[in-house]
Structure 1
Amino acid sequence: MTNPEPSAASDAADLAKFGYKEALERRTGRFASFAVAFAFVSIATGIFTTYGSVLNSSGPMGIWTWPIATIGQLAVAFVLGALAARIPVTGYHYQWMSRLANPILGWILGWISFTFLAIVVCAVDYTIASTIFPVLLHYEGTPTIAWLVTGAVLLLQALLVGFSTPWAERVNNTFVSLELIGMVSLTVLLLVVAAVRGEMDFSNLFSKGAIPAEGYWDFGDLTTAGPWMLGFLLGAFTIVGFESAANLAEETNDPERVVPRAMWQAVLASGVLGFLFILAVTLAAGDPIALAESGTPIADVIEKTLGSAVATLLLVMVVLAIFACGLVIMITGVRLTWAMSRDKRFPGWQQWSQISPKFHTPLKATVLYVVLAELILAIFSQSETALFTLFGAATLLPAVMYASTVVLYLIKRKSLPVSDKFNLGAWEIPVLAVAVVWLVFELSLFRDSSFKEAWAYVIVMVVIGACYLGYLLATRGKSGLTMPGMGSIDAELEAEAAKD
């Protein structure tokens, strides 16, 4: 017998424990929650964008880093899911850190999360304009054209997010379904056709390509990471954002149960399907050294093996997947802006905390978010290395967010109230160990000098945030940053401690 879906009144009562009244409509169900997490991860986007970089940094053998990254991110997803089940409130990392550590640290992590979401939407949408459209529509791309096209894509996503959450979810659900069907179909077709034609080259799976064998496995030094180690960036960039489902907690039915499962299921599905697809592409790649010189290696392999018509369909599918990914990123960024503004923690919060009575969305927060994204895009628009800089920052920031939150869970886990809808049980210690080891290793990769500009962006945004935090502390003091409903969770923690 399955448990009945809890009523809206029950979800509203749960939210009230954290000091908030229902302000958003609860429409998100199980598949929609999974689709949000899966769309943010978007294996079609990540693999299409970074597979060529792996060939150049690590050779085909770099793909074997993917399963390790999947296991590491799956462990992180379980930990974040355990927090999402206990604090089902819009604002995810900001809420978790604020309520379980302190509001100052919570604000810092919230700001870092915002800076990540502001730049990653540009990085993702920029791929459509700079890499895919020139090949699909047969024109010569320039930085100016890429800027204009990306700006138009951002605006279209903002219109969906700002004017209709139901329509945004319908578009996302449809595009995620097409991505799942398309990735499975392409993987099977590649393996079958390549096998029938005798074009499978198993030696590719263990080839270093043009990368010298000497020092290939080295960890690197203080300013460089070894060739194989850089291959981990394929999984580190792609398998992120799964916790975006938690940022729609106040729009999800039974979020304590639905959101954690959506998170780990999205990581598992992305990890397994993504690796099978990478294996199929690598087996059918032909000469990996020649392929590494291409700007669109995935499309080249598909066209060589399955023909130009299928390659065109691949590009269309990738465009849809990227659009869905950017759409979900924007939804997540807007909800975080709104959540911090609701607590009077965001610059200009008086405007961004409002919910449109007509559209039932944070419309003004959407306008702010898209204007900021367009500004970031304009700053990077004429840079020849814009895409790498954007992706570098978009890979670095989530690693910082995940590490901070996992450390928080590690410190607070014994005092957390037990959830009867999702908890790690006896697997808690092993899962935490895997998550910590993975995140320490991942963060160590960003010492590589190629991330210099990405670090510069992070530092600039942190300084801006620090200035505003200083203003908040000067005008309100620490007591003025207390979270709404803080007493409710403190009481639960104290009750659990008393039992022990």
Structure 2
Amino acid sequence: MTTPGERGANGLSEFGYAQEMKRELGWYTSFAVAFGFVSIATGIFTAYGSVLSSSGPMGIWTWPVVVIGQLCVALIFGALAARIPVSGYAYQWISRLANPILGWIMGWVSFTFLGVVVVAVDYTIAATILPVLFQYQGTNENAWAITAIVLLLQAILVALSTRATQRVNNVAVTIQLIGMVSLTVLLFVVGGVTGQLDFSTLFSTGDIPREGYFAPGGLTSVGPWALGFLLGAFTIVGFESAANLAEETKNPARVVPKAMAQAVVGLGVLGMLFLVAVTALAGDPVALAQSDTPVADVIARVLGSYVGKALLVLVVVSIFSCGLVISLSGARLVWAMARDKRFPAWQLLNKINGSTGTPMNASVFMFVVAQIVLALFARSTQALFSLFSAATLLPALIYAATVALYIAKRKSLPPSKGFELGRLEIPVLVLAVVWLAYELLIFRDASFAEPWLYLLVMFAIGAVYLVYLLVRHGAKSLTMPDLHDIDKALDTDPHQAPSNAGGNQ
């Protein structure tokens, strides 16, 4: 018998599912999931040097534009999460509101994103941080081995205990928040007292010619200013991971939208202040761009080597937390698609382990996928840039498709259970569309050929499996419970629960 409370914001019966995982996540844990995935310490440390090389110090002023654009995307995601608070986020939303086939494609794109971004994040530890922290020569081989070990540790934690994973991430996010705020304040204070702050650097283009700096570029190239947007576009992604854990969140329709928006705003403000501090203290930005760890170099010079080392430890903690959340989110997405019999080996991947309460098989599967991606990229001398680029391109596609869905269906969306855009809807949509269109145009640059190749290969694999599903079961088998019919049936007969979406295929 389904109680009225179960049919409310926390219930899954109206979506065709039973509650298989415990609802234990509160607001801070949901916020920490969104914050931990985005991780400004990870993103800025990884991408700042690339921005100095491609756009000069003035490239940091692309950051506020990205924050506004991604906040609009987060608000749209929040409006959808408040209506369909189910694990699988974009896969669920597009499958139910548009078309199950389009939803499957979006689920597959999301899976490919999570499979590559966890490697991009963890590879940073091995390639750029540990060699500096422990003073050894980094190579492709030892970076590969260290990344593989980090991925293994994260997979073990995610597979064995959701609660332990959440606690580790909560602690890591708290450390990152306190550490980044303290570090930013220290940089401004010490830099000001010692006279090292030079705010004119904020408007320098370094060794990038000013002529043509803001030019749009050509058919297969973009201008220096546009490349600066990759700093924010790589960093401020993954906030939607909070929506992917909706089935484990208390009152998700209210908590998840708030957590996503607050994470983007908090990260945006703190990240901008930190970028201003580091750039104003850069000294010679042209020389700094040649360093593998430019942020750490600035901090060590201004605050001393001990604080510089402490920053590296903080970044390691932040990156591990980021990879942990990505692994957690990836396992939930694979499990959600397997639950509907729409993922390879779904018979194994749709199970919740009785003793751990986690989708253990899905967690192991994500680990295997990450190791394969690592093996494909790790021998390349441009591995970090390729991973970084692919991990920026894929979410842009996901966000654009989801925003397009919202625009197409906004007049017929199911009732919200806790969050609506209201009068902000049109301005938010306009800003999101303009931002995403501009961001996607950046990826026409020839330097992104390898990420596009990765995307096409993964699309080809997905297309083969989708054709198999359609041939084997037919298009009619790819259906999702109709929200309106289910609500009506429950109102008519509260003793009748709907069948599982995947169980009747």
What are structure 1's unaligned runs of at least 5 residues? 1-5, 493-500
In the alignment, structure 1 residue 309 sits paired with structure 2 residue 306: yes
In the alignment, structure 1 residue 282 sits paired with structure 2 residue 254: no
In the alignment, structure 1 residue 401 sits paired with structure 2 residue 398: yes
Match runs of 1:171-250 below 5 Å: 171-250=168-247
Match runs of 1:132-147 below 5 Å: 132-147=129-144
Q: Return the letter of the residue paired with 1:325.
A: C
In the alignment, structure 1 residue 83 sits paired with structure 2 residue 68: no
Q: Deviations over 1:331-360 (max 9, x none)?
A: 000000000000000000000001100100
Cα drift, residue 416 of structure 1 = 1.1
Match of 1:28 in 2: 25
Cα drift, residue 213 of structure 1 = 1.3
Cα drift, residue 8 of structure 1 = 7.6
Cα drift, residue 203 of structure 1 = 1.0
Q: Return the letter of the residue paired with 1:204.
A: T
In the alignment, structure 1 residue 356 sits paired with structure 2 residue 345: no
In the alignment, structure 1 residue 334 sits paired with structure 2 residue 331: yes
Q: Return the letter of the residue paired with 1:238.
A: T
* Counterparts of 1:211 and 1:451, CA distance in 2: 20
* Counterparts of 1:77 and 1:439, CA distance in 2: 12
Match of 1:428 in 2: 425
Contact kept in structure 1, 2:7 and 2:14, CA below 8 Å: no
* Counterparts of 1:318 and 1:188, CA distance in 2: 17
Match of 2:321 in 1: 324
Q: SS where residue 243 of structure 2 aligns?
A: helix
Q: Deviations over 1:305-333 (max 9, x none)?
A: 00000000000000000000000000000
Q: SS where residue 414 of structure 1 aligns?
A: coil
In the alignment, structure 1 residue 451 sits paired with structure 2 residue 451: no
* Counterparts of 1:138 and 1:464, CA distance in 2: 41
Match of 2:373 in 1: 376
Match runs of 1:61-100 below 5 Å: 61-100=58-97
TM-score by length of 2: 0.95
* Counterparts of 2:402 and 2:87, CA distance in 1: 16
Contact kept in structure 1, 2:242 and 2:259, CA below 8 Å: yes
* Counterparts of 1:420 and 1:358, CA distance in 2: 32
Cα 1:316/1:36, change in 2 over 3 Å: same
Contact kept in structure 2, 1:123 and 1:394, CA below 8 Å: yes
Match of 1:496 in 2: none
Q: SS where residue 327 of structure 1 aligns?
A: helix
The structure 1 residue matched to 2:153, chosen from 113, 133, 156, is 156
Structure holding more helix per residue: 1
The structure 2 residue matched to 1:104, chosen from 85, 101, 105, is 101
Q: Return the letter of the residue paired with 1:321.
A: S
* Counterparts of 1:222 and 1:490, CA distance in 2: 50
Q: Return the letter of the residue paired with 1:401.
A: I
Cα 1:131/1:13, change in 2 over 3 Å: closer
Q: Return the letter of the residue paired with 2:35.
A: F
In the alignment, structure 1 residue 478 sits paired with structure 2 residue 481: no
| Alignment RMSD | 1.5
Contact kept in structure 2, 1:245 and 1:263, CA below 8 Å: yes
Q: SS where residue 117 of structure 1 aligns?
A: helix
Match of 1:440 in 2: 437
* Counterparts of 2:322 and 2:450, CA distance in 1: 24
Runs of 4+ in 1 over 2 A off after TM superposition: 6-14, 484-492
In the alignment, structure 1 residue 345 sits paired with structure 2 residue 342: yes
Cα drift, residue 469 of structure 1 = 0.3
Q: SS where residue 51 of structure 2 aligns?
A: helix
Cα drift, residue 417 of structure 1 = 2.7
Cα 1:149/1:8, change in 2 over 3 Å: farther
Contact kept in structure 2, 1:161 and 1:330, CA below 8 Å: yes
TM-score by length of 1: 0.96
Match of 2:494 in 1: none
Match of 1:256 in 2: 253
Cα 1:189/1:294, change in 2 over 3 Å: same
* Counterparts of 2:300 and 2:8, CA distance in 1: 50
Q: SS where residue 325 of structure 2 aligns?
A: helix
* Counterparts of 1:207 and 1:374, CA distance in 2: 41
Contact kept in structure 2, 1:58 and 1:231, CA below 8 Å: yes
Contact kept in structure 1, 2:9 and 2:251, CA below 8 Å: no
Match of 2:14 in 1: 17
Q: SS where residue 316 of structure 1 aligns?
A: helix
Q: Return the letter of the residue paired with 2:422.
A: G
Match of 1:418 in 2: 415
Q: Return the letter of the residue paired with 2:396.
A: A
Q: Return the letter of the residue paired with 1:149.
A: I
Match of 1:37 in 2: 34
Match of 1:271 in 2: 268
Cα 1:411/1:489, change in 2 over 3 Å: farther
Cα 1:472/1:290, change in 2 over 3 Å: same
* Counterparts of 1:55 and 1:294, CA distance in 2: 10
* Counterparts of 2:164 and 2:467, CA distance in 1: 39
What are structure 2's unaligned runs of at least 5 residues? 490-505
Contact kept in structure 2, 1:20 and 1:484, CA below 8 Å: no
Q: What is the number of residues matched between the two proteins?
A: 487
Match of 1:57 in 2: 54
Cα drift, residue 418 of structure 1 = 3.3
Contact kept in structure 2, 1:41 and 1:241, CA below 8 Å: yes
* Counterparts of 1:359 and 1:128, CA distance in 2: 29
Cα drift, residue 366 of structure 1 = 0.8
Q: Deviations over 1:95-128 (max 9, x none)?
A: 0000000100000000000000001000000000
Contact kept in structure 2, 1:190 and 1:302, CA below 8 Å: yes
Contact kept in structure 1, 2:10 and 2:252, CA below 8 Å: no
Cα drift, residue 12 of structure 1 = 8.2
Cα drift, residue 239 of structure 1 = 0.3
* Counterparts of 2:26 and 2:82, CA distance in 1: 16
* Counterparts of 1:55 and 1:286, CA distance in 2: 12
